[in-house]
Structure formats: C-alpha cells, structure tokens
C-alpha cells in the first residue's frame, strides 16, 4: 500500500501510528467485543474516554481547575454564533481582529446577534497580522475575538495581542496544539478537530468557567448554551464518539513525542524546510505573506503564472505529494503541514520544489 503525503488544509493528514491503532482495536474496543462506535455514550467506557481526553487536553495546555474542555458539534462555524449568543449582551459590543476569511465570517455572525467593532484588520489582502501598533481595543468590549492561524492565507499570530482584562477568544481551528500557548490568558479557545487533531465531527471548546458568570441573560435553545454541555460533560445528546476517541489517540501521540514544546520544535523545522525552498528559488516561488507572520501550519506561495501552477500541482501529484492547490479564490499553492505531517513529507516537497524550479524557471 502506498500512502501519499497529503497537504490538504482539512480534513487533513493524521499520524500513521494513530490510524494503525484505530485499525488494531476497531473490532474490539477495550475488550468489550464491539467497536467504539457501537458503545453507548451512557456507558462507563464512554464516560471514562471523555474524562481521559479532557484531562489530556488540559494537561497538554497546562490548564488548571478553572477551565473545562468541551466536545461539541456543528464545527468551528457554529461557534461563530454561539459565542455572541452567550457573551454579547444587548447594547454591548465585541471587538474582532480581522486577519482572514474565517475571522470575517465570525464577525458577520456576531453582527447577526449584536454589535461589533473592528479592533484591527489586514483585510486589503490578508498578507499580514496587524502588529500591536495597529490594534486598538474598546475598553468596554464584551470580548476580543482573534483567529490565531489563518488557514487560507497562511499567517499566524506569533505574538498574542495584549488585551488587558478583556476576555480573549481565539479560533485555533488550524493551529491548536501546534505549540505551547499561555492558555490561561484566553477566556475561550475553539477549534474544529479536522485540521490538527482528528477527523471532522467534533469542535473543541476550552472555556474559562468564571467567564460563564458573565453569560448574557438570554433564553437560548438548550444546545446553544455552554452551560448545558458543561453540566453534562459534553454528552447532553449523543456525542461524536468516534471523533472524540480519535482525538484521544492523537493527544496520546503528542504526549509520546514530548508534548507541545516538542511539537513546536518539529513544526518549526518542517516550516523552515518549505519556506527555505521558496526563499532560495530566486523569485520563482513567491511567498504570499509577510515573512515575520508566516504560519507554521499553512505555507502559501505563488508561481509565475496559472499554467505553471497547474503543472506544479500535476507533477507533484505524480510523486505522491497531493492536495497542494491553493484556496479556490486565492489560487497559487498551499501546503498544509499540520502536526501529523512528518519531516520526510516536507523534505520530499522541498526537493520537488527545487527540481521543478530549475526545470521550469
């Protein structure tokens, strides 16, 4: 069997060790004589699994007792609405930092619920992260929303915004657990699972419990209220058991490699391998974003024209380097090199880039 190197932005590549482990215990989960997707979400086995994955998450992020980790459905996109429904009061306003399509969508949903303000923006082409000197926060903001990594454009916050005691909310869908973060500086972190930590189906929400005391007094449908999920350990209704099970295996895999500091080291080396191939091409490849804001997870670049770009994608595909096409409206190339992409994959890509540039430049 030939596995390819899959540079898809999401759903994305997963660690081979994890995929193998799923295969090995597929027919008989923990000696129960059935698979993990056949067990009851009210069973002891499932309750233990949920507790285990929450504990692993908290330990990897260094979170204390004041935080909960929830596994919800509806994708990161549902959080765009759920956050303002719970935390944007009538007559209040929330600050949004616009660094890509996803942050724009998050703000658009908040605008459907209440009032927002742009605290900083790189919207003319999303090629950079607005530096501190371009950020200005409303002293009364109900919260500040950022997108830590911009999956489409390939920028990433390398310095967290300084927001004082305003609650900081981050969409970390495409870089959760890629590096250590000061997790307790955030009131809420959310991420769809399918980029860096598992298959689609669950959205991780890390929430500071004390912030819930500030929850807006609004009569919400039960599934849209974070308190429902906290009270019921993410199992108010049937949870996406398979995704949560796989997230647990991915977290174990991260622990085995040495945790988030080790992930950051691996990811920096991988990203450098690809960015160096761009930078030594003499302009044949051109990075889309400002170098100091380059993402560790999504590397974006363009080639001289559309024809040579299509040829690049086709020839890379023949070498087992797949899903390199840039976002549909942006064009160019995007190599997503999430946690599970091995160093060998980026070396194959960089080697291909060198050969392609010298043959076509």
Ligand X SMILES: *Cc1c(COP(=O)(O)O)cnc(C)c1O
- Catalytic residue among 195, 211, 270, 293, which? 195
- Catalytic residue among 102, 211, 225, 270, which? 102
**In angstroms, what is the minimal distance from the CB of 203 to ligand X?**
6
174: contact with ligand X by CB under 6 A: yes
Phi, psi for 147 (deg, rounded to 5):
-115, 110
Q: Which stretch binds ligand X (CB under 6 A): 73-81, 87-95, 111-119, 136-144?
A: 73-81
d(CA 143, CA 87): 8
102: contact with ligand X by CB under 6 A: yes
Residue whose CB is less far from ligand X, 167 or 192:
192
Which three-class secondary structure string do you get for 324-350?
Answer: CECCCCCCCEEEECCCCCCHHHHHHHH
Active site residue 306: no
Position among 86, 135, 173, 309 found at the interface with ligand X (CB under 6 A): 173
Q: Which stretch binds ligand X (CB under 6 A): 45-53, 168-176, 227-235, 239-247?
A: 168-176
d(CA 170, CA 204): 12
Q: Are 224 and 238 in contact (CB under 8 A)?
A: no
Cα–Cα–Cα angle for 81, 83, 86, rounded to 5 degrees: 105
Q: Are 32 and 45 in contact (CB under 8 A)?
A: yes
d(CA 188, CA 167): 8
Residue whose CB is less far from ligand X, 205 or 249:
205
77: contact with ligand X by CB under 6 A: yes
**In angstroms, what is the minimal distance from the CB of 172 to ligand X?**
8
Active site residue 195: yes
d(CA 250, CA 253): 5
**In angstroms, what is the minimal distance from the CB of 74 to ligand X?**
7
Residue whose CB is less far from ligand X, 174 or 281:
174
d(CA 317, CA 65): 47
What mask, x for binding ligand X by CB under 6 A, covers residues 117 to 156? ------------------------------x---x-----
**Side-chain half-sphere CA neighbours of 3 within 13 A:** 14
What mask, x for binding ligand X by CB under 6 A, covers residues 190 to 219? --x--x------------------------
Quickly tell me which residue has 């920028």 as its tokens: 155
Q: Which stretch binds ligand X (CB under 6 A): 20-28, 44-52, 70-78, 207-215?
A: 70-78
Q: Which stretch binds ligand X (CB under 6 A): 33-41, 55-63, 170-178, 215-223?
A: 170-178
Residue whose CB is less far from ligand X, 151 or 323:
151
d(CA 246, CA 22): 8
Residue whose CB is less far from ligand X, 155 or 281:
155
d(CA 340, CA 89): 40
Size of the site for ligand X (CB under 6 A): 12
Q: Are 187 and 213 in contact (CB under 8 A)?
A: no
Position among 171, 188, 198, 275 found at the interface with ligand X (CB under 6 A): 171
Q: Which of 276, 243, 308 is nearest to 37 (CA)?
A: 243
d(CA 182, CA 327): 30
Active site residue 354: no
Question: For the chain, how many helices (H) and strands (E)?
Answer: 9, 14
Sorted by sequence, the CB contacts under 8 Å of residue 338 that are 6+ apart come out as 12, 13, 174, 178, 195, 196, 297
Q: Which stretch binds ligand X (CB under 6 A): 72-80, 84-92, 221-229, 338-346?
A: 72-80
Q: Which of 348, 264, 336 is nearest to 300 (CA)?
A: 336
Residue whose CB is less far from ligand X, 22 or 104:
104
Position among 5, 6, 7, 10 found at the interface with ligand X (CB under 6 A): 10
Q: Which stretch binds ligand X (CB under 6 A): 15-23, 28-36, 75-83, 160-168?
A: 75-83
Enzyme catalytic residues: 102, 171, 195
Would you tell me which residues interact with ligand X (CB under 6 A)? 10, 75-77, 102, 147, 151, 171, 173-174, 192, 195
């Amino acid at each position: 069997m030939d596995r390819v190197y899959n540079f898809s932005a999401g759903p994305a590549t997963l660690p081979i060790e994890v995929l193998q482990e799923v295969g090995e215990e597929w027919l008989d989960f923990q000696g129960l004589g059935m698979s993990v997707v056949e067990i009851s979400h009210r069973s002891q086995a499932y309750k233990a699994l949920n507790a285990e994955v929450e504990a692993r998450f908290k330990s990897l992020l260094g979170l204390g007792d004041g935080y909960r980790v929830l596994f919800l459905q509806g994708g990161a996109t549902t959080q765009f609405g759920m956050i303002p429904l719970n935390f944007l009061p009538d007559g209040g306003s929330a600050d949004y930092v616009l660094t890509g399509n996803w942050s724009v969508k998050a703000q658009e949903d908040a605008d459907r619920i209440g009032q927002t303000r742009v605290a900083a923006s790189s919207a003319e082409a999303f090629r950079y992260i607005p530096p501190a000197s371009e950020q200005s926060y409303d002293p009364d903001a109900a919260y500040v929303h950022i997108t830590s990594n911009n999956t489409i454009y390939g920028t990433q916050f390398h310095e967290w915004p300084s927001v004082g005691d305003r609650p900081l909310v981050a969409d970390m869908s495409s870089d959760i657990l890629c590096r250590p973060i000061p997790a307790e500086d955030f009131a809420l972190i959310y991420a769809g699972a399918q980029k860096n930590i598992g298959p689609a189906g669950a959205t991780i929400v890390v929430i500071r419990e004390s912030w819930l005391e500030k929850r807006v007094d609004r009569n919400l449908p039960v599934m849209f209220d974070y308190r429902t999920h906290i009270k019921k350990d993410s199992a108010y209704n049937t949870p996406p058991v398979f995704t949560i099970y796989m997230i647990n295996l991915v977290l174990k895999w991260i622990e085995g490699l040495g945790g988030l500091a080790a992930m950051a080291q691996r990811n920096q080396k991988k990203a450098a391998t690809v960015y160096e191939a761009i930078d030594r091409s003499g302009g044949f490849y051109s990075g889309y974003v400002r170098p100091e804001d380059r993402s560790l997870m999504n590397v974006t670049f363009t080639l001289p024209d559309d024809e040579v770009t299509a040829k690049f994608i086709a020839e890379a595909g023949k070498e087992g380097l797949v899903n390199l096409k840039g976002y549909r409206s942006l064009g160019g190339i995007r190599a997503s090199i999430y946690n599970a992409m091995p160093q060998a994959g980026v070396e194959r890509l960089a080697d291909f880039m060198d050969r392609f540039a010298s043959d076509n430049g």
